[in-house]
Amino acid sequence: MTETQELAGPIDHAGEPQPARIRSFVRRQGRITPAQRKALDELLPRFGLDPSLPLAPRATFGRDAPVFVEIGFGNGETLAHLAEIQPEHDFIGIEVHPPGIGHLLLELERRGLGNVRVYTHDAVEVLERCVPDASLSGLFVFFPDPWHKKRHQKRRLLNPEFVRLAVGKLRAGGLFHAATDWEDYAHQMLDVLGACPELVNADPSGGFSERPVYRPETKFERRGQRLGHGVWDLVFHRSALTAGEASP
């Protein structure tokens, strides 16, 4: 899909184009291994979720448990780790790049994890269409594309509009945890999250947090640190439900 296609707006019921929403990603096929391709063919029907249907965690996982979502899970390293160390929780990953999805599916099969499901779709649309308000116990955004060139920074995922949408999906006390290795993006994230009235910074000084023990240090992160990159974690919690909003 080209960048022009990514920027195209939807068509309303009258056939009129709607204002374009700038997406935070551009689809790139990337190199996919035969094993990853096989996983997409054979395992995605088991672990995949339909982005045209409302999310129903009890029916999906066969139980009532806290649900956490990771947006842009990359190769799934962190998501598989979280699901393995927290079997009492259920996890949903959202990713659009086939090699990473295939890699996660292989890990789920290898580790025998049944508490993970996957959307292979635009995360903003999944949140808008599928996820009920005040239903999530946590939401993770780890190392999103920094779009470091100034002309591309309008594509950054963590903007005020996205944060309002995402926070509305959290239960009272729900976790919003982001991390990045781009310092200017880290400060932008801190400004945006700090400006949201429904979020409370877990850091008493209102700054960045230490990496929580549940978030593993990834290969990507270690490589960046060898190159001298810093890493910034931002941990917030939803303070309360807004008027008219009810926890399911």
Residue 128 within a domain:
yes
Q: What pLDDT, on the 0 to 100 scale, is given for residue 22?
A: 47
The structure's pTM equals 0.85
- Which domain covers residue 114, as residue numbers? 67-238
Question: Which residue is catalytic, options 41, 133, 145, 181?
Answer: 145
d(CA 171, CA 161): 18
What is residue 146's predicted lDDT score, i.e. its pLDDT?
87
**Within a domain: residue 16?**
no
What are the mean pLDDT values of the chain's consecutive 10-residue runs (248 residues total)?
A: 34 44 50 96 98 97 98 96 98 97 98 98 97 98 80 77 97 97 94 97 97 90 83 95 58
- Identify whether 166 is part of a domain: yes
Which ranges of 56-209 does DSSP label H, i.e. alpha helix? 57-61, 77-85, 98-111, 123-129, 160-167, 183-194
Instruction: Tell me whether residue 145 is one of the annotated catalytic residues.
Output: yes
Cβ distance 234 to 121 under 8 Å? no
Tell me, yes or no, whether 138 lies in a domain.
Answer: yes
Q: How far apart are CA 7 and CA 165, in angstroms?
A: 20
- What pLDDT does residue 246 have? 58
- As a whole number of angstroms, the distance between CA 234 and CA 175 comes to 10
Q: How far apart are CA 117 and CA 60, in angstroms?
A: 8
Q: What is the CATH number of the domain that holds 195?
A: 3.40.50.150
The answer to whether residue 13 sits within a structural domain is no
pLDDT at res. 221 = 82
Q: Residue 94 falls within a domain, yes or no?
A: yes
The CA distance from 138 to 118, in Å, is 16
Residue 195 resides in a domain: yes
According to the model, what pLDDT value does residue 28 have?
A: 55
The predicted pLDDT at position 152 comes to: 42
Give dist(CA 198, CA 191) in Å, integer: 14
Residue 212 covered by a domain: yes
Determine the pLDDT at residue 125.
97
Q: Write down the pLDDT at residue 29.
A: 59
When divided into structural domains, the chain yields a total of 1
